[in-house]
Amino acid sequence: MARTQLAEQQPAATPTPTPTPTPTPTAAAPPQPSKPAAEAPTLSTSAARQYCVNIADAAADAKFAWQKKALLDIAQDLEKRVARLDEKIAEYQRWVTRRDEFLKKARDNLVLIYSRMRPDAAAMQLVAMDEETAAAVLLKLDPRVASTILNEMEPAKAARLTSTISGAAKDAPGAPPKGNPEAGKS
């Protein structure tokens, strides 16, 4: 009896097909060929469509939250790397400072050693080393000591070192000194 009363109260519903929306081509996207109905599932009921509409905002929010978390993770990693690089820079600056202090002490000691050497021995040592180093040592020596050392050198080498000290020597090593054009001719 309950079934018959329920059936009498509800009108007979005839299923009416709902039209499926057809995508309209836009200027930005090229038209795509239509797919057979078996391959592309379509939403045939209004409940399914309503579900998709209702969940779209939540899905977008979840996607944005995931992207935000990913960006925060990347930012934290970047901050850690920058901190490590800053530490390395500070460490390298300390090493460079220590090296410069050592070199300054070594140069000062080297100058002191050459100033206390006999001029002929110092001249032989300076002739044997590269010109820039020898010129730097001579430049730091007391002028009286440097002149006695230069006096003990061969005149060509002494002239070359003097030119290097004055900044006029830009030729390759072994080239005749400037100002003596006849030196290269035989």
Tokens of 134: 């020898």
Q: What is the pTM of this model?
A: 0.39
Which residues fall within 8 angstroms of residue 114, CB to CB, at 6 or more apart?
A: 122, 125, 126, 137, 141, 145, 149
pLDDT at site 124: 93
The overall average pLDDT reported for the chain is 76
Question: Could you report the per-residue pLDDT of 120-172, keeping only the tens digit for each?
Answer: 999 999 999 888 888 888 888 889 999 999 999 999 999 998 888 887 445 44
CA distance 150 to 130: 15
Is the Cα torsion angle 166, 171, 175, 176 positive or negative in sign?
A: negative
Q: Would the pLDDT of 100 be above 60?
A: yes
- In tens, the pLDDT along 24-48 reads 545 455 555 555 545 545 546 788 8
Confidence of residue 49 (pLDDT cuts 50, 70, 90): confident
pLDDT greater than 70 at residue 18: no
Nearest alpha-carbon partner for 153 in 179, 178, 135: 135
